[in-house]
Structure 1
């Protein structure tokens, strides 16, 4: 009976620790999910216009973010602090968003965003791209804090390990 209780307590401890490590990346997972849906919508909205450059760019970005999402799911069983694929993805997304902002103002922008027909839709796309840049930068800061052990979960995990 005592062994059974010890085994249950050990399992509960391991599960709680696993969820604490997984929770460190919560902001990143939500951000990756937001990028996934944004890129998918961009792809879907571009398809009817048959502008190959925009479709291919949106498809590539969707594939990149899907790979980052898979890495995020692996954090449930992997306690490595770094998320190299996600980091590369965020930098690619920042670069692509900056380029898209520039292209949005040029005549070639219609090939990337063929559904932008007036100034208000252009402003909406510009806003989405700018928010995407800010969010990716925040995520990069978050990753650096996790790697350095300066995130709030590092303290919680240390306290949890010490008290159990």
Structure 2
């Protein structure tokens, strides 16, 4: 009876610790998911226009964001602090967003966003791209804080370990 209670308590402790480690990456997971869906929508909206440059760019970014999403799912069982695929993905997303903002200012931008037909849709896409840059930058800061042990979960995890 005592062994069973000890086993249940140990399992509960391990599960709680696993979820604490996993929660450190919550912002990154939500951000990667947002990028994944945004890139998928970009791809879907580009398909009817048959502009191959936009379709290829959207498909590549969808694949990159999917790879980062898979890495984020692996964090449930992996306590390594770094997320190299996600970090590379965020930097690629920042560079691509900057390039797309520049391209959208010229007629060539319609090859990437053929569905942008007026000024209001252009402003909407520019806003999405700018928000994407800021979000990726915030995520990169978050990753650096996790790696350097400066995120709030570092203290929570240490406190939790001490209390058990």
Compute the TM-score of the two structures, normalised by the length of structure 1: 1.00
Paired residue secondary structure (1:102): helix
Deviation digits for residues 105-159 of structure 1 (CA, Å, limit 9, x no counterpart): 0111000000000000000000000000000000000000000000000100000
Aligned to 1:9: 9
RMSD in angstroms over aligned alpha carbons?
A: 0.3
Q: Which runs of 5+ in 1 are unaligned?
A: none
Paired residue secondary structure (2:107): coil
Aligned to 1:73: 73
Deviation digits for residues 12-71 of structure 1 (CA, Å, limit 9, x no counterpart): 000000000000000000000000000000000000000000000000000000000000
Aligned to 1:34: 34
Distance 2:10 2:129 in 1: 46
4+ runs of 1 displaced by more than 2 Å? none
Paired residue secondary structure (1:129): helix
Distance 1:93 1:110 in 2: 19
Compute the TM-score of the two structures, normalised by the length of structure 2: 1.00
Distance 1:20 1:162 in 2: 14
Q: How many residues align?
A: 164
Aligned to 1:130: 130
**Is 1:62 paired with 2:71?**
no
